A and B are shown apart, each in its own frame.
Chain A
Amino acid sequence: MSSTPAAQRQEQRLPQSRGSRKSRRAAWLFVAPAFAFYAAFVLVPLAMSFYYSFLRWDGIGEARFHGLTNYITVLTDPKLLQIIGNAFQLVGYFTIIPVVLGLAVASVIRGHMAGPFGTATRTILFLPQVIPLVAAGIAWSWMFANTGVVNQGLRAVGLSDWARGWLGDFVWALPAVGIIGAWVLLGLCTMLLVTGITKIDPSLYEAARLDGARPWHEFRYITLPGLRQEIAVCVTLTVISALASFDIVYIATQGGPGITTMVPGLEIYRLAFAHRQVGLASALAIVLMILVLISIAPVQWFAREKK
């Protein structure tokens, strides 16, 4: 006697269910090593920082519970607020300049990416990415020095009054640091955008041209919407680079003059190791992490696939 339809359904489901359990187990096995590393090097330190942020501790001696005092200090101390503000000013340089220039460059070289020109362009644009940030910081420090190439150029064109020690100037130090960051990130953004632009169907541009569209219209209605995902990736990476910046600032200015170029990443390091205020440093780190999440959340929302 043949089995009932319900039993048949059960029989059909059983192997599937076993299979899905098996594949789920296999998936976990594949994920486990990466998760173990992530847990050891990200989640555990994050939890420890969160715990330390409620302590008053010099990192070696006895730790005392400090309640929310460290967080109150981070959110009320004028110096720390200025330091957080500096990081948001850097977003302007680290994000806007590379994304805008990257879009411009990607649009201009859109049709010439094949062949030697494309290879040379990609290499030159990507070069800053393979140079260590510390080396970039040192090289730019020399260029911004009193006798550096920037001032030599200004003097050569008769603008001697503009020559100055850029990285030691209260007005110009932060923009100078911003320029270094923009230079480092420009190549990455351009490469991402160039790669993205090659995925846009060329027939769209052809159709637009047949309809009488001008280059600006092509950019506005085809290139820009087509690069939504790539722009979001660029903005996410550069915003994080700006808010969590450390290397460039440490090498170029060490946060000076005064605290005009001090950023949270460097201040966390100083608070923890120079000032021996591990609790306050941890609280600033947690606040910085929340600020980064808040800052990139709208970008992720903008980048999501429209249904």
Chain B
Amino acid sequence: MRKQSRHALRIAALTLSVAATAGTALAAPSCGPDPVVLNSYFETGFPLPTRLAEEFTKQFPNVTFDIKEDQFANMMENSPRILSEPNAPDLIRLPSLTDLVANNLLKNLDGYFDEFGWDKFPAGQLVQLRVEDGGRPRGTGSLYAMGLNYSMTGVFYNKELAAQIGMTEAPKTLAELDALMSKAKEAGIQPIMQFNKGTGGLAFPLQNLMGSYGAPEPINDWIFQKDGATINTADNLKAAEHLEGWIKSGFFPSDANAIEYFQMMSRFMGGEGLFMFNGDWESGNFDSNAAGKYGFFIMPPLEEGGRHASMSAPLTFGIGANANNADCAAFFLDWVATNDEARKINVAVGGSNPGGPADLAIPAVEPGSVTEASLAAGATLAQDNGAMDFIANATGAIFAAGWTPELQKMVGGQQNAQGLLDAVQREYETQLSR
């Protein structure tokens, strides 16, 4: 009897233990019922995170956001210092991951990955957010950030100017795109409106051309700092030569080096320029301010039916290693990807794919809108598995010290395609050797 009761006790204890363990595994972190203030650091000029925060507070009134905003360039410079403070942000827009991971400033999200079941997200969606211990290479290792959405770059076009040169549909090959630009030039229309002051805006068309000429994998290897990776490849040289050809043909504005991003947007929306290489984060802006006037297409490949490849990057947000409300911040990131209302806001305001579990549909958008076109382009990109991270994200300073000055020199006729790739690769190796 005593033996039986001891046995029963053991079974009961085991059952309780299993139940407790299962309970722990099932109870994903949340914001709880007590008041929480999420210390948040967002990027100036992008209303999406704030709109999402407002909706989150509406659904979870005990959670409010203390939002500070800064320019992207300032965030690149200040994020390590901000994250190293005792009260590090719970949520922060991250310009790059590697340096922050190397200095143990970001929370490792592997635990949340299991608890929230982020394995239901397409693995490719999170690959850019994984970093090995020590900060390199990227693309593998632990998860250190999540995307608020997943944007891509492509080509916006002015429908009215397109009609003037007889453009009725998006070009299917690079040669067709070239022909359209030549036609525009002959008709006295500025073929491309592009910024190149401050930060090198010609990096957008250059990377799109790289995607036309070659596969995205070697470029991702370079961005992810894999051993022996180089940007100085034969395919990339052809892409850079093509860009140089566009510059020499006068397809870009002659004062591109004096045009800032916001001036580019203003001039393009003012009717100056047939095409503009930019990201789908502007789709919502076009739909709300100039409905029906603009279109968007993914950069065409060299040959019709070929593989599409383009820059596609998450709107990266991380949680500070010293954050006070890490669980609530992680819950917010999961909510953004899975909540119906959040996904609707994400598409309407952000204009990009909201990501999240593969079985969740993308919220419906206005037929004929730019957002519809850019989401379709994103689907094509996903189908061709052609997403690349931004070539400016390879190291913390490669954009400022490599791409920007060299692309400006190219516009000024002081640099050629080979020299551009040589100089950027040299700068990349110098930075990695530090």
Interface residues of B in 59-83 (CB under 8 A from A): 76-78, 80-81
Q: How far is the CA of A169 from the CA of B401 in the complex (A)?
A: 19
- Contact indicator per residue, chain A 248-265, by CB within 8 Å of chain B (1) or not (0): 000001101111000000
Q: How far is the CA of A90 from the CA of B28 in the complex (A)?
A: 60
In the complex, chain B residues whose CB is within 8 Å of the CB of A253: 197
Q: How far is the CA of A166 from the CA of B255 in the complex (A)?
A: 8
- Contact indicator per residue, chain B 252-264, by CB within 8 Å of chain A (1) or not (0): 0111111100010
In the complex, chain B residues whose CB is within 8 Å of the CB of A217: none
- Contact indicator per residue, chain B 343-375, by CB within 8 Å of chain A (1) or not (0): 000000000000000000000000000000000
Contact B257 A165 (CB under 8 A): yes
User: Contacts A58-B99, A170-B412, A256-B198 hold; do A164 and B254 have CB atoms under 8 A apart?
Assistant: yes
Contact A60 B196 (CB under 8 A): no
Interface residues of A in 33-64 (CB under 8 A from B): 56, 58-61
Is A112's beta carbon under 8 Å from chain B? no
Q: How far is the CA of A85 from the CA of B196 in the complex (A)?
A: 24
- Contact indicator per residue, chain A 47-83, by CB within 8 Å of chain B (1) or not (0): 0000000001011110000000000000000000000
Report the interface size class on chain A: 20 to 34
User: Contacts A168-B196, A257-B412, A274-B400 hold; do A145 and B258 have CB atoms under 8 A apart?
Assistant: yes
Contact A258 B408 (CB under 8 A): yes
Is B269's beta carbon under 8 Å from chain A? no
Is B207's beta carbon under 8 Å from chain A? no
Contact A258 B412 (CB under 8 A): yes
Contact A258 B253 (CB under 8 A): no
- Name the distance in Å between A252's Cβ and chain B's nearest Cβ: 10
Q: How far is the CA of A259 from the CA of B404 in the complex (A)?
A: 10
Q: How far is the CA of A169 from the CA of B411 in the complex (A)?
A: 10
B400 interface neighbour in A56, A146, A170, A270, Cβ under 8 Å: A270
Q: How far is the CA of A161 from the CA of B401 in the complex (A)?
A: 32
B197 interface neighbour in A164, A256, A277, Cβ under 8 Å: A256
Q: How far is the CA of A274 from the CA of B174 in the complex (A)?
A: 36
Is B382's beta carbon under 8 Å from chain A? no
Q: How far is the CA of A274 from the CA of B431 in the complex (A)?
A: 12
Interface residues of B in 253-303 (CB under 8 A from A): 253-259, 263
- Name the distance in Å between B423's Cβ and chain A's nearest Cβ: 11
- Name the distance in Å between A270's Cβ and chain B's nearest Cβ: 6
In the complex, chain B residues whose CB is within 8 Å of the CB of A56: 434
- Contact indicator per residue, chain B 395-431, by CB within 8 Å of chain A (1) or not (0): 0110011001110110110100000000000000001
B255 interface neighbour in A168, A273, A276, Cβ under 8 Å: A168
Contact B77 A256 (CB under 8 A): no
- Name the distance in Å between B200's Cβ and chain A's nearest Cβ: 9
Contact A257 B81 (CB under 8 A): no
Contact A276 B412 (CB under 8 A): no
Contact A60 B105 (CB under 8 A): yes
Is B57's beta carbon under 8 Å from chain A? no
Contact B80 A168 (CB under 8 A): no
A59 interface neighbour in B81, B253, B405, B409, Cβ under 8 Å: B81
Chain A at the B interface: SS class: loop
Residue of B nearest to A272 (CB): B77
A61 interface neighbour in B102, B198, B255, B404, Cβ under 8 Å: B102
In the complex, chain A residues whose CB is within 8 Å of the CB of B400: 270, 274-275
Q: How far is the CA of A271 from the CA of B198 in the complex (A)?
A: 16
Is B84's beta carbon under 8 Å from chain A? yes
Residue of B nearest to A166 (CB): B258
Is A284's beta carbon under 8 Å from chain B? no
Central interface residue in B253, B259, B396, B405, by most chain A CB within 10 Å: B405
User: Contacts A60-B81, A254-B197 hold; do A169 and B103 have CB atoms under 8 A apart?
Assistant: no
- Name the distance in Å between A251's Cβ and chain B's nearest Cβ: 10
Contact B404 A256 (CB under 8 A): yes
Contact B259 A168 (CB under 8 A): yes
Contact A274 B76 (CB under 8 A): yes
Q: How far is the CA of A257 from the CA of B258 in the complex (A)?
A: 8
In the complex, chain A residues whose CB is within 8 Å of the CB of B396: 274-276
In the complex, chain B residues whose CB is within 8 Å of the CB of A270: 400
- Contact indicator per residue, chain A 150-188, by CB within 8 Å of chain B (1) or not (0): 000000000000001111111000000000000000000
Q: How far is the CA of A56 from the CA of B434 in the complex (A)?
A: 9
Residue of B nearest to A167 (CB): B258
In the complex, chain A residues whose CB is within 8 Å of the CB of B102: 61
Q: How far is the CA of A56 from the CA of B102 in the complex (A)?
A: 16
Contact B105 A169 (CB under 8 A): no
Contact A256 B408 (CB under 8 A): yes
Q: How far is the CA of A257 from the CA of B260 in the complex (A)?
A: 12
Contact B414 A258 (CB under 8 A): yes
- Name the distance in Å between A59's Cβ and chain B's nearest Cβ: 7
Q: How far is the CA of A256 from the CA of B431 in the complex (A)?
A: 21
Nearest 4 CB-CB pairs, A to B?
A165-B255, A165-B258, A168-B258, A168-B257
Q: List 24 interface pairs A-B (beta carbons < 8 Å), by A numbering.
A: A58-B99, A60-B80, A60-B84, A61-B102, A144-B258, A164-B254, A165-B253, A165-B255, A165-B256, A167-B197, A168-B259, A169-B258, A170-B412, A254-B198, A256-B198, A257-B257, A257-B405, A259-B405, A274-B76, A274-B397, A275-B396, A275-B400, A276-B80, A276-B396
Residue positions of B touching A, CB distance < 8 A? 76-78, 80-81, 84, 99, 102-103, 105, 196-198, 253-259, 263, 396-397, 400-401, 404-406, 408-409, 411-412, 414, 431, 434
Known: A60-B84, A168-B255, A254-B198. 14 other contacts (CB 8 A): A60-B105, A144-B258, A168-B197, A168-B411, A169-B255, A169-B412, A253-B197, A256-B257, A257-B411, A257-B412, A258-B412, A270-B400, A273-B78, A274-B76
